Amino acid sequence: MSERTEGDRSEEETERSAGAPTTDGGTDHPAESPVAEHARPAGGDAPETGLAGPTPDERPHPTGRRDEHGVRKEPDHGPEPTRRATVSALVEDEPGVLARAAGLFRRRQFNIESLTVGPTTVEGHSRITLVVEETEAGIEQAKKQLAKLTPVIAVGELSGDAVAAELVLLKVRGEEPDKVHAITSMYDGQTLDAGPRTITVQITGDENTIDDAIDAFDQFGIIEIARTGQTALERGDSPTTPGEEPGHSAGETDDDEFTNYDD
């Protein structure tokens, strides 16, 4: 009897795993995996190929292009629309408060068209009025950032029908004084200085009135111009700044509001 070597046993195991016939006439088959039996659908049919879901044409396709960092950017639909807003801030009188407010808007790169400051009826308080041209989100951000400043008491946006006014000083050539005075009267202005060579007038009104007046005086030759920013108050009983309470000027008392004419 020949001795079986290790190589013979390996060949037999290989043939048996491939379904080779056995000595009893049967065929060895590897036992099916329980996982495979579980995955086979009922009825013995082979499972369908592919995954359930939309076809390639039905799947959403990304838009935009990737930047240099590989991040996909949404397509540009054009600049976001902007609007003008008048914001009023009630602040405490402290040195440098206006500089801090201006520095805030400069750092944030807000588009400020005008900024004015002046006293209120409450001693120790001032009002900052600024006009911004920004997107809706930019206007809200400007109000929030302004409200964070330490001396700021309250911040609010004025309504569209608020009372607003500006002032402009115009120095024009004086060759036609009669015509200059006529234009000044037409805009309810004042002549502040008149000389043989120049005339200086003052005009007040809303932005459109000031723009029209400047165009009208341009025919005489405008030498110099100085224009203030817009200042504004809410109409009626509505407070200009939320939470603002009416006060009195320095030296004014409640008795000054009513005069007893019987004395």
The matching CATH number, chosen from 3.30.70.260, 3.20.20.10, 3.40.50.920, 3.30.750.24, for 82-157 is 3.30.70.260
- How confident is residue 170, by pLDDT bands cut at 50, 70 and 90? very high
pLDDT for res 226: 97
pLDDT for res 149: 87
- Three-state DSSP state, 98: helix
Gap between the Cα atoms of 139 and 86, Å rounded: 10
142-152: average pLDDT: 89
Closest CA to 165 of 188, 191, 138, 143: 188
Q: Give the DSSP letter string of 215-257.
A: HHHGGG-EEEEEE---EEE-STT--SSTT------TT--GGGG
226-244: average pLDDT: 89
User: Which of the two residues, 173 and 45, has the higher pLDDT score?
Assistant: 173
**pLDDT tens digit sequence for 188-199:** 999 999 999 999
**pLDDT tens digit sequence for 36-76:** 444 445 555 545 566 677 777 777 766 666 666 666 666 66
pLDDT for res 69: 65
pLDDT for res 212: 97
CA 59 to chain centroid? 35
**Percentage with pLDDT > 90 across the chain:** 41
Is residue 178's pLDDT more than 70?
Answer: yes
- How confident is residue 157, by pLDDT bands cut at 50, 70 and 90? very high
Gap between the Cα atoms of 53 and 41, Å rounded: 19
The matching CATH number, chosen from 3.55.40.20, 3.30.70.1150, 3.40.50.300, 3.30.1330.90, for 163-233 is 3.30.70.1150
Instruction: Give the domain ranges of the chain.
Output: 82-157, 163-233
Ranges of H-type helices in 19-77 = 34-39
User: Which of the two residues, 121 and 3, has the higher pLDDT score?
Assistant: 121
- What one-character DSSP code corresponds to residue 149? S
Note whether 147 and 113 are within 8 A (CB): no
Average per-residue pLDDT for the chain? 78
79-106: average pLDDT: 87
Q: Output the pTM of the full model.
A: 0.60
Match 């400047």 to its residue by tokens. 214
pLDDT for res 180: 97
pLDDT for res 52: 74
